[in-house]
Amino acid sequence: MKSSELIELLKEKILIFDGAMGTMLFKNGLSPGSCPELLNIEFPNAVENVHRLYINAGAEVIETNTFGANRIKLSAFGIADKVKELNYRAVEIARKAAGTKVLVAGSIGPTGKLIFPLGDLSFDEAYAAFKEQAGYLLEAGADLIIIETMSDLQEMRAALLAVKEFGDIPVICQMTYEKNGRTITGSDPETAARVLSAMGATVVGLNCSLGPEEAIEIIKKMARAGGVYLSAQPNAGLPDTKGGVESYAVTPEYMAKYAREMVRLGVSVVGGCCGTTPEHIKAISEAVSDLRPPLRFPDRRCFLACRTRTLYIEGRGPTPFVGERINPTARKKLAESIKNGDFGPVIKEAEEQVRAGASILDVNVGVPGIDEASAMAKAVESIQRTVDVPLSIDSSNPEAIEAGLKYFCGRAIINSVDGSKDKLEKILPLARRYGAALIGLTLDESGIPESAEKRLKVAQKIVEYAEKYGIDRNFIFIDCLCLAAGVHQNQAIETLKAISLIKKELGVKTVLGISNISHGLPFRKTLNAAFLSMAIKEGLDLPIIDPLSPEVIGALRASDLLTDRDERGEYYVFSGRVEKTSEKTL
């Protein structure tokens, strides 16, 4: 099955998943603490029987009994050598029960360990384990993959990247949320849905942990992500442990009522997790049978994300900005420490810039003579441990860009691609794979065009190329390039002109590094501030600036107020940076 076939199906109907496998196996005598996947070998009929009960109850997709069948989880039971067998058998059992009318979803659950820096499992190890399991599930004939009960977005990213290695497979990505509306590791439903959707998840959703009533609140937040199809497989209420035995209080009728509400909120895939039984699935299936599948209108809002937050960049509200300071160019000390593997100064720059209001941090570790990809990986991990903002992965080295994209938990932006074919063909697949946004410089093999019109031409080429790679133009930030005003004096106006022209003609976003305007001139901050004010007026979406310059931050806050992007003047009035400027100069 292809991802697009699942989407076609979801346009036609609400898809009914099965309920809990574990709940049913424990009911049938599986002892708590044992490994449920071993039954695939030791008692396949029990598993098959559960599948049949769900199919009879109305399930249109059944999940393989492989939730814990990854190498890392199985190691805990000392049966890491059984990964292949357990996954193969599970698919065989499910397929036997499913026949041709019911779909088999290969179930992938968490490793049980936390990924670095939250725990000590490396991203690459997790990725390898998921890739191994997904490979077996697909080889054995699973129709689609469901990655579920993930409480860490980073682990989900590793699993999703692993599954996507096998081509255009339909993938359902279900996170599990706490009562506070976030995953244990802090991600909110909107952010998880957006990040996973950008990375190619066919359906995003939630399962387990919460009952249907609490799930509703999560679904409302997930639905804000727009566009992507949603799934929900809550528990049958919250677990109630009386006398050491888990029980769930929610009746089939209650769950069915909420299932209708979920569909109304945009959910296309419904099922159940812990505590749900064939009776629940039957009730759900009957309850939604007369409902039409929800329409999911595409939502092209531009965003970046970090683990805990989505940052929309849509030209309304105070202008977000990229902090430029993590860059060793012309900064000897910083370069030296990066070279020596000391990321303390990088962390300090990250902290200070975020404290000064930076919404995004540019990360450039391009010190000559180092292993840039490894330095980028360390920088991204160090920064993520300290602050939580989206990153701009800044390098001319594709390996370094890939390292940054891989280890960053969220949606980063690539800085940068340009109009040269070589660059486009190297970088665009990375943007696609990691679901990253993209900065496109208006230069190509023949250099930087002098006129705004010619820069538009280069931007157009970048956009067309990117769209061929499936990257929406709304996620492309064109950098019209700021040349040093001391040398190219007529170019500042051309850059400003290019900003409004390119926005208008191509409907893309614009980004601009401001500081270069004053390269080689005195009183740099005065010039930077004036240029920034003009660029904001011209419609610049994302300035790259030095957040530690009060003049520049002051100019940005003032410009937002003047362009009516700071509705109550709160950013202007309450920005600590502006206050600092003012103290110095009033």
Give the residues lining the site for a copy of itself (CB under 8 A).
485-486, 489-490, 492-493, 496, 517, 521-527, 529-531, 533-534, 537-538, 550-551, 554-555, 557-559, 561-564, 567, 569, 572-573, 578-579, 581-582, 584-586
φ, ψ for residue 169 (rounded to 5)?
-80, 140
492 binds, options Zn ion, a copy of itself, none, Cβ within 5 to 8 A by partner type: a copy of itself
Among the listed residues 402, 454, 448, 456, the one whose alpha carbon sits nearest the alpha carbon of residue 428: 402
CA gap 433, 167 in Å, rounded = 11
- Report yes or no: 40 and 137 within 8 Å, Cβ to Cβ: no
Residue nearer to Zn ion on the CB measure, 215 or 514: 215
Residue nearer to Zn ion on the CB measure, 16 or 427: 16
Q: 413-418 and 437-441 as β-strands: parallel, antiparallel, unpaired? A: parallel
φ, ψ for residue 278 (rounded to 5)?
-55, -30
Kindly state the tokens that stand for 514.
Answer: 């401001």
**Nearest residue to Zn ion, by Cβ distance, number only:** 208
558 binds, options Zn ion, a copy of itself, none, Cβ within 5 to 8 A by partner type: a copy of itself
Least spacing, CB of residue 493 vs a copy of itself, in Å:
6
CA gap 373, 366 in Å, rounded = 9
CA gap 125, 132 in Å, rounded = 11
Least spacing, CB of residue 329 vs a copy of itself, in Å:
20
Number of residues counted as binding Zn ion (CB under 5 A): 3
Least spacing, CB of residue 554 vs a copy of itself, in Å:
4
Residue 302 sits in the site that holds Zn ion (CB under 5 A): no
Residue nearer to a copy of itself on the CB measure, 120 or 567: 567
Residue nearer to a copy of itself on the CB measure, 155 or 324: 324
Residue 25 sits in the site that holds Zn ion (CB under 5 A): no
Residue nearer to Zn ion on the CB measure, 126 or 208: 208
Least spacing, CB of residue 525 vs a copy of itself, in Å:
6
Least spacing, CB of residue 451 vs a copy of itself, in Å:
14
Kindly state the tokens that stand for 112.
Answer: 């049980």
- Report yes or no: 89 and 48 within 8 Å, Cβ to Cβ: no
CA gap 446, 427 in Å, rounded = 19
Least spacing, CB of residue 334 vs a copy of itself, in Å:
20
Residue nearer to Zn ion on the CB measure, 46 or 208: 208
CA gap 25, 45 in Å, rounded = 11
Report the length, in residues, of the chain. Answer: 586
- What residues does 309 pair with on adjacent strands? 306
Residue 273 sits in the site that holds Zn ion (CB under 5 A): yes
What's the start-to-end Cα distance of the chain, in Å?
67
Residue 108 sits in the site that holds Zn ion (CB under 5 A): no
63 binds, options a copy of itself, Zn ion, none, Cβ within 5 to 8 A by partner type: none
- What residues does 360 pair with on adjacent strands? 322
Three-state DSSP at 431 gives helix
Least spacing, CB of residue 374 vs a copy of itself, in Å:
36
529 binds, options Zn ion, a copy of itself, none, Cβ within 5 to 8 A by partner type: a copy of itself
Burial string for 442-452 (b: 16+ CB within 10 Å, else e) reads bbbeeebbeeb
Residues 195-214 that bind Zn ion (CB under 5 A): 208
Residue nearer to a copy of itself on the CB measure, 146 or 532: 532
Among the listed residues 313, 191, 322, 316, the one whose alpha carbon sits nearest the alpha carbon of residue 571: 316
CA gap 1, 167 in Å, rounded = 11
Residue nearer to a copy of itself on the CB measure, 84 or 565: 565
CA gap 121, 174 in Å, rounded = 21
538 binds, options a copy of itself, Zn ion, none, Cβ within 5 to 8 A by partner type: a copy of itself
Least spacing, CB of residue 321 vs a copy of itself, in Å:
15
329 binds, options a copy of itself, Zn ion, none, Cβ within 5 to 8 A by partner type: none
Residue nearer to a copy of itself on the CB measure, 348 or 537: 537
Residue nearer to a copy of itself on the CB measure, 443 or 548: 548
Least spacing, CB of residue 564 vs a copy of itself, in Å:
5
273 binds, options a copy of itself, Zn ion, none, Cβ within 5 to 8 A by partner type: Zn ion
485 binds, options a copy of itself, Zn ion, none, Cβ within 5 to 8 A by partner type: a copy of itself
Bond from prior residue into 320 cis (ω within 30 degrees of 0): no
- Report yes or no: 182 and 151 within 8 Å, Cβ to Cβ: no
Three-state DSSP at 242 gives strand
Among 274, 458, 482, 502, binds Zn ion (CB under 5 A): 274
Residue nearer to a copy of itself on the CB measure, 76 or 487: 487
Q: 239-242 and 245-248 as β-strands: parallel, antiparallel, unpaired? A: antiparallel
Residue ranges that bind Zn ion, judged by CB under 5 A = 208, 273-274
